[in-house]
């Protein structure tokens, strides 16, 4: 019965976020994911879950449950002026003081530095980051580990969906006393907060063992086919020969770099991959109302408000990020990173244009005009007075940003 409800309310409405939370909490462990569509397969579950509602309870697809999480975290819900950035204590510009981390990062290594700080100064045993599939290097895959080198290696954003949170199941079963730090997207954070409220064994575990949660801003994620098509159709390479992918490699703002099994490398500028990836989005990602969930301990985004233009025309901008500190834990984490000389910081003004956020707003505005079931936004509402573009192609149109010769 519950499997049918999940199908009717989430899957049939194309609202699966592909986060993996349902598989993580399934007591019978009967939920598996289609690796290409990144949705749970329910055909073989039978009657084993007839009276269980855990998958629906933690699913952020239809109901992220932002208001309830905010009440528990902050004692209030966000105000209208906080609609897109959420409730925060402080906003800072930030960059790692370690040149290696800055070099390996997409935008200064702020999230990476906070994970390393949690590991070294907050007794965190394991960190969950997105890496590469061990057998298919072109695919993304979650990695749960403790090595600093792995955290640094996974520093850059990965523009590819995978059932990320399901990787925590192994820890729950085999290392239940481990303390965990997680970096993820809005949907991952929403699912974690819903899980932490559950009065179940795994809910109690998540509440006591997931020590800190860091999120990176997301205008939308992409199915594996997006990366596959860039490798095969644009670069002319066999995806099965790929050992590694970096989406923001090199000088700011970076470029996609593919490394083959024979160590050859091929690349494409970041502004070009945005156009290629946009044809491989899910409805849930496109219609999502959250650039940031606002529910993480710290939220991080690019410091440069328009990395598309920077990629197109070149930039003298130094890699850096912007961090919104939200909770007491987030404040302690950032303060510790600064005190120990791992992070440099400065004040910032979050006003003004931000391309990633504008893309998110425009998509949400467009989908609100359609007779469709949308993932819920915060209680302050999602109503817009200005007209939406049919899609966001104009927002990432090279002619709009290209410098004159």
CA distance 161 to 94: 27
Task: Determine the pLDDT at residue 44.
Answer: 65
CA distance 106 to 92: 17
Measured in whole angstroms, the distance separating CA 181 from the mean position of its chain's CA atoms is 14
Give pLDDT tens digits for 287-340: 999 999 999 999 999 999 999 999 999 988 889 999 999 999 999 999 999 999
Task: Determine the pLDDT at residue 3.
Answer: 66
Q: Domains of the chain, with CATH numbers? A: 65-222+281-374+381-399 (3.40.640), 226-267 (no CATH)
Omega before 253 cis (within 30°)? yes
Query: Do 217 and 356 touch, CB atoms closer than 8 A?
Result: yes
Statement: residue 48 has pLDDT above 70: no
Question: Confidence class of residue 162 from pLDDT cuts 50, 70 and 90?
Answer: very high
Task: Determine the pLDDT at residue 278.
Answer: 85
CA distance 218 to 88: 18
Task: Calculate helix-pair angle for 66-74, 186-196, nearest 10 degrees.
Answer: 70
CB atoms within 10 A of CB 153: 17
> Rounded mean pLDDT of 375-387?
80
Give pLDDT tens digits for 228-249: 999 999 999 999 999 999 999 9
Task: Determine the pLDDT at residue 317.
Answer: 85
Give pLDDT tens digits for 97-143: 999 999 999 999 999 999 999 999 999 999 999 999 999 999 999 99
For 105, the token pair is 């990062």
Pairing mode of beta strands 180-184, 126-132: parallel
- Gap between the terminal Cα atoms of the chain: 63
pTM of the model: 0.96
Upper half-sphere CA count for residue 235 (Cβ side, 13 Å): 27
Question: Confidence class of residue 391 from pLDDT cuts 50, 70 and 90?
Answer: low
Residue with tokens 């328009």: 306
Percentage of the chain exceeding pLDDT 70: 95
Residue 240 has phi, psi (to 5 degrees) of: -70, -10
Q: Residue 192: CB partners within 8 Å, gap ≥ 6?
A: 21, 165, 182, 184, 206, 210, 213
Q: What is the CA radius of gyration of the chain?
A: 20
Task: Determine the pLDDT at residue 285.
Answer: 96
For 75, the token pair is 């004692």
Query: Do 252 and 243 touch, CB atoms closer than 8 A?
Result: no
Residue with tokens 């010769």: 405
Q: Please provide the average confidence, as pLDDT, over all residues in the chain.
A: 93
Query: Do 133 and 141 touch, CB atoms closer than 8 A?
Result: yes
């Amino acid at each position: 019965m519950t499997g049918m409800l999940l199908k009717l309310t989430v899957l049939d409405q194309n609202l699966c976020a592909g986060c993996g939370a349902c598989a993580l909490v399934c007591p019978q462990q009967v939920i598996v994911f289609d690796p290409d569509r990144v949705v749970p397969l329910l055909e073989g579950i039978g009657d084993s879950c007839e009276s269980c509602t855990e998958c629906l309870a933690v699913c952020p697809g239809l109901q992220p449950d932002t208001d309830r999480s905010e009440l528990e975290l902050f004692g209030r819900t966000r105000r209208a002026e906080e609609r897109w950035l959420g409730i925060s204590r402080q906003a800072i510009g930030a960059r790692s003081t370690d040149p290696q981390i800055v070099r390996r990062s997409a935008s200064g290594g702020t999230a990476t530095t906070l994970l390393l700080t949690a590991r070294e100064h907050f007794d965190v045993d394991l960190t969950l980051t997105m890496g590469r599939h061990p057998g298919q290097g072109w695919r993304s895959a979650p990695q749960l580990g403790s090595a600093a080198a792995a955290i640094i290696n996974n520093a850059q954003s990965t523009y590819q969906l995978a059932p990320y949170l399901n990787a925590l199941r192994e820890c729950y079963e085999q290392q239940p006393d481990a303390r965990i730090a997680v970096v993820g997207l809005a949907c991952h954070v929403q699912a974690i907060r819903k899980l932490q409220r559950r009065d179940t064994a795994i809910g109690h575990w998540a509440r006591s063992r997931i020590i800190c949660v860091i999120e990176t801003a997301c205008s939308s994620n992409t199915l594996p086919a997006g990366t596959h098509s860039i490798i095969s159709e644009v670069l002319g390479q066999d995806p099965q020969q790929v050992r590694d992918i970096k989406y923001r490699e090199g000088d700011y703002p970076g470029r996609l770099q593919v490394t083959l099994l024979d160590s050859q490398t091929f690349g494409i500028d970041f502004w070009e991959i945005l156009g290629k990836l946009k044809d491989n989005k899910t409805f849930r990602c496109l219609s999502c109302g959250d650039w940031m969930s606002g529910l993480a301990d710290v939220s991080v985004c690019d410091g440069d408000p328009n990395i598309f233009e920077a990629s197109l025309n070149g930039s003298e901008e130094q890699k850096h990020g912007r961090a919104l500190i939200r909770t007491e834990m987030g404040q302690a984490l950032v303060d510790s990173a600064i005190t120990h000389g791992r992070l440099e910081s400065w004040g910032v003004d979050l006003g003004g244009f931000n391309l990633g956020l504008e893309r998110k707003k425009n998509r949400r505005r467009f989908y609100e005009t359609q007779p469709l079931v949308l993932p819920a936004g915060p209680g302050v509402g999602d109503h817009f007075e200005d007209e939406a573009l049919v899609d966001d192609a104009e927002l990432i149109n090279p002619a709009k940003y290209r410098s004159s010769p």
